[in-house]
Chain A
Amino acid sequence: MSTIAEPTEIAAKPQKGRGYDGHWTLVWQKFRRHRLGVAGGIVVILAYLVAAIPEFLAPVTLEAYNPAYSYAPPQALHWGRDDGEGWRFGPHVYAYTTEIDYNSGRRLFATDPETPINVGLFVEGEPYRLLGFIPTNRHLFGPVEVGQPFYIAGADRLGRDILSRTIYGARISMTIGLVGVALSLVLGILIGGVSGLVGGVTDNLIQRLIEFVQSVPSIPLWIGLAAAIPQSVPPLQVYFLITIILSVLGWTSLARVVRGRFLAMRSEDFVKAARLDGCGPVRIIFRHMLPSFLSHIIAVVSLAIPGMILAETALSYLGIGLRTPIVSWGVLLQEAQNVRTIASAPWLLLPGGAVIIAVLALNFLGDGLRDAADPYSD
């Protein structure tokens, strides 16, 4: 038996993240280093979770109202109380005592420390179907006794719980961005792909078209298109019409990215090789080119969603976007129509806070993804 050199001395140990890992491993490794991006991603996942199961997370249902608590201010949550024998844990809020001010015609609310309302986790409440098919009546948190006033973020004009409504609003507001971007993406990939692949006069014309669409002031046009939706159209159709309106002007940035990637990649060696191997254009696009710029597309998509959310909120706020009974953050903000209302009930702006958090998180996530989309630089 002859001696052979130990193989371990010849083969260099594969280094992590140095060209031996797959594309997506590298993308993930680079993304993980972008802390704000990761934090944004976590918030975005939580927001979509809220959008998936608002019935469970909200203390009361969307329809619950009580005119007796019109514009009730937020209740403070107390974690426990001193019952003479020492402090005991037992979260509770205090009930309201109301008094009508005959000068302004408004109710004045004060809390009543004599009547605590116990608050618990996984309490029983209105029955509903979780995710649309699991019948239950448990809510994540709420008053232990059903029907007690529980307005931890205040109430609106009709005495509806702002917190519950904001939680329900996530469903429409978070998905309208997704649906709108999905539509824009289809338009963007089609038009940008044609532009980048065909080139020449077609490319030139499409580029001029994109420049033109981008130079049109979008909000007046959005208002114009949205105002054209008749009042008689059912709410669900309004939802889809609004997403179409948003994507009519929203596809251009996606088309730009797709075209840019196609142009850059058309002359790459691996595309040439595939063409010489006799692949058809469809196979080249979907099997060879698309996987290598998918990460870029995901980044652009996540940066396009916040714009859609902001646009929907603004249109709905102006009363020409979505309308009740659909509940989105913009529809909820309609309650805060003038300064006097806001001055007397600033908690009506809570849905606006939800918009800001969602948009910030999506922007951070998009920034992180954009940096990670090209893991080979740097």
Chain B
Amino acid sequence: MGSFVLRRILYAIPALIAVSLISFLVIAVPPGDYVDRLAETNAAKGDIMPIAEQEALRQAYGLDQPLMVQYWNWISAVVARGDFGYSFSYNLPVKDVIWPRLGLTVVLSIASLLFIWVAAIPVGIYSAVRRYSAGDYLFTFLGFLGLAIPNFLLALAAMYIAFAWFGHNVGGLFSPEFVEAPWSWARVLDLLNHLWLPMIVLGTAGTASVIRVIRANLLDELHKPYVTAARAKGMGEFGLLMKYPVRHALNPFVSGQNDIFVDIVSGGTIVAIVMGLQTTGPILLEALRTQDMYMAASFILMLSVLVVIGTLLSDVLLAWLDPRIRHQQG
């Protein structure tokens, strides 16, 4: 087991290097940089920025150097000192902005994942055991609907319902008085109070697909001879179901968790922008619009790292569940 985990960690390293390169290039390669955008917005205000001043700014920010040098300076500082560079538009080191935001992204993503499990596993088991019942049809229909509604539309609809029916102005993860406050119990409670709506919105699509996976796999297992044998020995239906076929059906479910986690992190960006959450999404979009290079690259990098770590965890979990996987991969 130990060597398997070690091997997986080694596999993750080239992925991380590639991810860092891509996040940087996506931001840096397109024409125009932050100074151009700054000059544009200033010009729109009637304040022309002299070329010499633009060049001086470029030099100060290191934007005049070749791309690869810029990349190397950035990534070596990230790895060596946890220094993500400087945010031009915030006038702050990126790391001061990124950690609290990333923390909340992790909290929201994990909450959505837990919601998916809690909602989807029992429903999937029910749908398989009571196949073609009214409940099964209802859940199948809701599942398809959950897959078809775009995340941001669901977010809008949820906010509309909360606003029009309950008079809540839902937006953000905190009440106004807690946004800038230091962490305290009251702030945690306030967060939990706001977290459930984005959690459900983000979890819907995943819930739908997990229900389908569990239902399909459990249906394959339910009529296998070992189930008949256990039943013939007089085992109770519920204990039998939980002890044998459900455990079998959970393996493909666990291996699918990785894709679902990627979707949560990825879709979380848009939901956060629409709902105005204090996670990575809104800042990333703003940074991309203003070409705040290090800020945008660092956010994409850290989101991808989050996903790579998620993949690693789900691989390890699967290997722990299923010895065949531990041994087969050399």
| Chain A interface residues toward B at CB < 8 A | 212, 214-221, 223-225, 227-228, 230, 306, 310, 313-314, 317-318, 320, 333, 336, 339-340, 342-343, 346, 349, 352, 355-356, 359-360, 363-364
Q: In the complex, given contacts A224-B300, A225-B26, what are 16 additional A-B residue pairs having Cβ atoms less than 8 angstroms apart?
A: A215-B262, A216-B22, A216-B304, A218-B262, A218-B266, A219-B270, A227-B288, A227-B289, A228-B27, A314-B152, A339-B163, A339-B171, A343-B164, A349-B153, A359-B147, A359-B148
- Indicate if B144 sits at the interface (CB-CB under 8 A): yes
Q: List the 4 shortest-distance A-B pairs measured between CB atoms, nearest first.
A: A228-B30, A227-B288, A217-B266, A359-B148
Interchain nearest-CB distance for B306 vs A (Å): 8
Q: Which range holds the interface residue count of chain B?
A: 35 or more
- Contact A217–B157 (Cβ < 8 Å): no
- Indicate if B269 sits at the interface (CB-CB under 8 A): yes
From known contacts A346-B160, A360-B144, infer whether A217 and B22 are also in contact, taking CB-CB under 8 Å.
no
- Contact A216–B307 (Cβ < 8 Å): yes
| Chain B interface residues toward A at CB < 8 A | 15, 18-19, 22-23, 26-27, 29-32, 144-145, 147-153, 156-157, 159-160, 163-164, 169-171, 258-259, 262, 265-267, 269-270, 273, 284-285, 288-289, 296, 299-300, 303-304, 307-308, 311
Interchain nearest-CB distance for A191 vs B (Å): 17
B29 / chain A contacts, CB cutoff of 8 Å: 228
**Bound form: Cα–Cα A216–B169 in Å:** 34
- Contact A217–B169 (Cβ < 8 Å): no
- Contact B303–A224 (Cβ < 8 Å): no
**Bound form: Cα–Cα A314–B29 in Å:** 24
A306 / chain B contacts, CB cutoff of 8 Å: 148
Q: What are 28 pairs between A and B in contact, CB < 8 Å? A: A214-B262, A215-B258, A215-B307, A216-B304, A217-B262, A217-B304, A219-B266, A219-B269, A220-B284, A220-B299, A223-B269, A224-B288, A228-B30, A310-B150, A314-B151, A318-B152, A339-B159, A342-B159, A343-B160, A346-B160, A349-B156, A352-B153, A355-B150, A359-B147, A359-B148, A360-B144, A360-B148, A364-B144
Interface hub of A219, A220, A320 (most chain B Cβ within 10 A): A220
Chain A minimum-CB-distance residue to B171? A339
**Bound form: Cα–Cα A20–B91 in Å:** 74
**Bound form: Cα–Cα A221–B24 in Å:** 11
Q: Which of A228, A336, A364 contacts B156 (CB 8 A)?
A: A336
Interface hub of B153, B170, B269, B303 (most chain A Cβ within 10 A): B153
- Contact B262–A343 (Cβ < 8 Å): no
- Contact B151–A227 (Cβ < 8 Å): no
Interchain nearest-CB distance for B42 vs A (Å): 16
Q: Which of B32, B148, B296 contacts A363 (CB 8 A)?
A: B148
Chain B minimum-CB-distance residue to A355? B150
A314 / chain B contacts, CB cutoff of 8 Å: 150-152, 270
**Bound form: Cα–Cα A223–B269 in Å:** 9
Q: Which of B31, B150, B164, B307 contacts A230 (CB 8 A)?
A: B31
A212 / chain B contacts, CB cutoff of 8 Å: 15, 18
**Bound form: Cα–Cα A366–B249 in Å:** 25
Chain B minimum-CB-distance residue to A313? B150
From known contacts A349-B157, A360-B144, infer whether A318 and B267 are also in contact, taking CB-CB under 8 Å.
no
- Contact A318–B151 (Cβ < 8 Å): no
Chain A minimum-CB-distance residue to B29? A228
Interchain nearest-CB distance for B164 vs A (Å): 5
B144 / chain A contacts, CB cutoff of 8 Å: 360, 363-364
A221 / chain B contacts, CB cutoff of 8 Å: 22, 26, 300
- Contact A355–B171 (Cβ < 8 Å): no
- Contact B288–A339 (Cβ < 8 Å): no
**Bound form: Cα–Cα A213–B284 in Å:** 20
- Contact A223–B157 (Cβ < 8 Å): no
B169 / chain A contacts, CB cutoff of 8 Å: 339
B156 / chain A contacts, CB cutoff of 8 Å: 336, 339, 342, 349, 352
Chain A minimum-CB-distance residue to B149? A356
A346 / chain B contacts, CB cutoff of 8 Å: 160
From known contacts A339-B163, A343-B160, A355-B153, infer whether A224 and B304 are also in contact, taking CB-CB under 8 Å.
no
A320 / chain B contacts, CB cutoff of 8 Å: 285, 288-289
- Contact B269–A220 (Cβ < 8 Å): yes
- Contact B160–A339 (Cβ < 8 Å): yes
A333 / chain B contacts, CB cutoff of 8 Å: 153
**Bound form: Cα–Cα A343–B156 in Å:** 10
B269 / chain A contacts, CB cutoff of 8 Å: 217, 219-220, 223
- Contact B15–A223 (Cβ < 8 Å): no
Interchain nearest-CB distance for B199 vs A (Å): 18
**Bound form: Cα–Cα A220–B26 in Å:** 11
